[in-house]
Amino acid sequence: MKAIFVKKAGGPEVLECREVEQPTPGDQELLVRVRAATVTRGDVALRSMPRAILVPVGLLFGFKPMEIPGVEFAGEVVAVGGKVGRYQVGDLVFGTTTGLARGANAEYVCVPETSRLGVLAKKPEGLSFAEAAALPVGAMTARFLLVRAGLKSGDRVLVHGASGSVGACAVQLAVLAGAEVTGVCSAGNTALVRSLGASRVIDYATEDVTAGPGGFDLVFDAAGKLSRRRCRAIMAPGGRYTGVRSPTSERLEDLAFVTDLAAAGKFKVLIDRSFPLTEVAEAHRYVEAGHKRGNVGILLD
């Protein structure tokens, strides 16, 4: 099969499209023919992290150094191990390869039926392969952090980095929960963030959001550029702060919550651009610039 291989830590040029052996599923694994995958900011960070750091960090958190990138995928089950119970050949599935050495920027991927780190679910009919692949990381991260920060109806919420993968999900989930949302992004993304339900949009290039006016019950830093200390002045008394620098875990309940909304047409999965498998390095360059609108897809036949 064709797969993207990481030769060594470095820039996008270390990614090479190669012929590699198609994996065989173990007893509790599924073999999925990948129809869509993505390139996330996490893929970019893992690609550039030196092995001397990646290996000990991986040992600590239980993930293997990545040989084939691609955390998110959607596709069709083409083989199942003998002990797989909930899936069969022909099922359409989506999820993440978190913790595995061989990810989904490949024609086939082997994933466990249940994983301590990643998620797997049946793809709803209402979502395309591209949408299903682009949903898990942004949606689970946004919901995990919003729930933990105690989001409630009527909250005045600031989402910093509102046009990115995590931020666009956070804006929509907060609006659906009955919050009044202010989004922060560059001027070119104002209309997009408004279309997601934000009632006000601030351009970070012309306005310092930490200088006020404030009164936010919840500040969500989806860009990883703020800090609780810098935001104190714009937080209402008793206001909460959360952001993407906090550790999160992938929870099936968060995935199911957002998937149901998306399948019902109440939540938009944003796909900025899509690339073929052979152009994953180009996709990494685009994602690494830090200005994608939502997600970047990798489409396979």
Residues within the interface to ligand NAP (CB under 6 A): 40-42, 45, 137-138, 141, 160-167, 184-186, 189, 204, 222-225, 244, 248, 290-292
For ligand NAP, the closer CB: 167 or 239: 167
For ligand NAP, the closer CB: 46 or 109: 46
Minimum distance from residue 187 beta carbon to ligand NAP (Å): 8
Contacting residues for 205 by C-beta, under 8 A, at least 6 apart: 186, 187
Peptide linkage before 276 cis (omega within 30 of 0):
no
Q: Which of 246, 225, 211 is nearest to 159 (CA)?
A: 225
Residue with structure tokens 């006020």? 212
For ligand NAP, the closer CB: 30 or 137: 137
Residue number with the shortest CB distance to ligand NAP?
A: 164
Radius of gyration of the chain (CA): 19
For ligand NAP, the closer CB: 110 or 133: 133
Minimum distance from residue 272 beta carbon to ligand NAP (Å): 8
Minimum distance from residue 143 beta carbon to ligand NAP (Å): 11
For ligand NAP, the closer CB: 97 or 165: 165
Q: How far, in Å, CA of 105 to CA of 183, rounded?
A: 32
- How far is the first Cα of the chain from the last one, in angstroms, to the nearest whole number? 13
Minimum distance from residue 262 beta carbon to ligand NAP (Å): 17
Structure tokens, 91: 């099922």
Beta strands 200-203 and 180-185 are parallel
